[in-house]
Amino acid sequence: MRFLPTDEQLAFTRSLHTMLTAAGAPAAARAWAAGDPAGGRAVWAGLAEAGVFALAVPENHGGLGPLPAELALAFVELGRHAVPGPVAETVAAAALLTALGDPAPAERLLPGIAAGEVMATLRLPGTGPYALDADAATSALVVDAAVRGPGPGSPGGAGDGAGGGDGSSKGNANTNGNANANAKNGGMDPPRPGPGAARPPTLRIAPGHGPVRASADPVRRLSVPEGGGEVLAAGPGVAAAAAHAEDWARLATAAQALGTGLALLDRTVEHVGRRAQFGVPIGSFQAVKHRLADTLIALEFARPLVLGAAVTMARADIAAAKVAAGEAAYGAARTALQLHGAIGYTEELDLALWLRKARPLRDAWGTPAQCRAAVLRP
């Protein structure tokens, strides 16, 4: 099978590259890290005008999609230009709302996502306590896993069904109606489960967030969403939609990591062509050539996995693409740091934006170990 992007897809990515180059995304990323989102919001508006977020939104909600192949190509460019903000999380939120089966939350949020008016962040069960850029997002969506109340003789309270709650279907017939009623009556939390009862997975909008925490990548601002808020949906459909959203988040992050690795490789090749030692460019040294060749091979092996996963949208294919792209980007970062020498450690060099992004992207929305397990899972 011969799989290559079409002429229209290539023209789309070229237009994104031109737009992001003119927009000065690295400068916007630096300002974003300092707590000034104005430049990042301007870049976001440009992406929305180009139709990037509409690719994840169905046509009946004002979008162009879902078009995962075009989205993957776009996210390679977003990674290449170090675009700040919860871009993967917004796409995942669109996927979750689309798969939810309840038209009310979709009609409320999806048109705004497609138009760039809604900047969403998302936290799913089993992905850690933090949400990305909740301080800048207009909507922080949180999926809470199914919680089982204490049964007769139980010494403690409810446990956390991390990972979406595989057993969340039990007891949903009694609690789903309560949750929907609460969503209609001001978004109050569902009543606490009685002995032996279970509260189903819920999707809610967090009313706020905790303080921003330090991150390996200063541009990726992490905070813990607050409890409570408006419940948008509850029931087993939320768990299924969350799993679907996680796949989209992994695909977008894999494409973003691939773009990050390509940017690191391009800047390193340019540097070793200029940097001279013993009267010749260090790029002419065989050891440097071999290191760059290994980096290029890893990235080029990851590229068809990312694009192929966007075509099949199979969970195992997406997980494999995430592993390959994340490891290739992290390898590109290590190569870039070594071949830039001491200058690679300086924060003033724009290279730092991509160096510090590669490791978090490798682990975001599924570590290599978690993704390998997903590939091997029957």
In whole angstroms, how far apart are CA 131 and each of 142, 254, 325? 9, 18, 22
Position 2 scores a pLDDT of 61
Mean pLDDT of all residues in the chain? 87
Whether 163 has a pLDDT exceeding 80, the answer reads no
Confidence class for position 252, pLDDT limits 50, 70, 90: very high
Q: Which residue has the higher pLDDT, 3 or 179?
A: 3
Average pLDDT over residues 332-348: 92
Whether 277 has a pLDDT exceeding 80, the answer reads yes
Distance CA 222, CA 237 (A): 28
Residue pLDDT, tens place only, 90-119? 999 999 999 998 899 999 999 999 999 999
Average pLDDT over residues 284-307: 96
Q: Which residue has the higher pLDDT, 194 or 57?
A: 57
Confidence class for position 185, pLDDT limits 50, 70, 90: very low
Whether 191 has a pLDDT exceeding 60, the answer reads no
Average pLDDT over residues 266-285: 92
Of residues 11, 95, 96, the one with CA closest to residue 56: 95
Average pLDDT over residues 35-59: 97
| Lowest mean pLDDT across 8-17, 32-41, 195-204, 287-296 | 195-204
Position 188 scores a pLDDT of 38
Whether 190 has a pLDDT exceeding 90, the answer reads no
Residues 215 and 157: beta-carbon distance below 8 Å: no
Residue pLDDT, tens place only, 203-230? 999 999 999 998 899 999 999 999 999 9
Confidence class for position 362, pLDDT limits 50, 70, 90: very high
CB atoms within 10 A of CB 231: 25
| Lowest mean pLDDT across 136-140, 163-167, 226-230, 250-254 | 163-167
Confidence class for position 342, pLDDT limits 50, 70, 90: confident
- Percent of the chain exceeding pLDDT 70 equals 86
Whether 150 has a pLDDT exceeding 90, the answer reads no
**DSSP letters for 206-260:** -S-B-PPBP-SSTTS-EEPBPS--EEEEESHHHHHHHHHHHHHHHHHHHHHHHHH
Paired tokens of 199: 């509260």
| Lowest mean pLDDT across 85-94, 163-172, 337-346 | 163-172
Position 197 scores a pLDDT of 58
Q: Which residue has the higher pLDDT, 174 or 106?
A: 106
Confidence class for position 176, pLDDT limits 50, 70, 90: very low
Please name the residues in contact with 334: beta carbons below 8 A apart, sequence gap of 6 or more: none
Q: What is the residue type of 146?
A: A
Average pLDDT over residues 218-247: 96
Q: In the chain, what is the straight-line distance between the N-terminal and C-terminal CA atoms, in Å?
A: 25
Q: What is the residue type of 62?
A: G
Position 149 scores a pLDDT of 57
